[in-house]
Amino acid sequence: MTETSDVSNKYYVYILYSLRDGGFYIGFTSNLKQRLTYHSKNEVLSTKFRIPFKLIHYEYFINEKDAKAREKFLKSGFGRKQFKEILKRTLGDLPSATNT
Distance CA 29, CA 35 (A): 7
- Domain, as residue range, for 78: 11-93
Count of domains forming the chain: 1
- In CATH, what number is assigned to the domain containing residue 44? 3.40.1440.10
Mean pLDDT, rounded, for 32-60: 95
Q: Within a domain: residue 4?
A: no
Q: Within a domain: residue 98?
A: no
Mean pLDDT, rounded, for 55-66: 98
Mean pLDDT, rounded, for 12-29: 96
Q: Within a domain: residue 78?
A: yes
pTM of this prediction? 0.87
**H or E element, residue 13:** strand 11-18
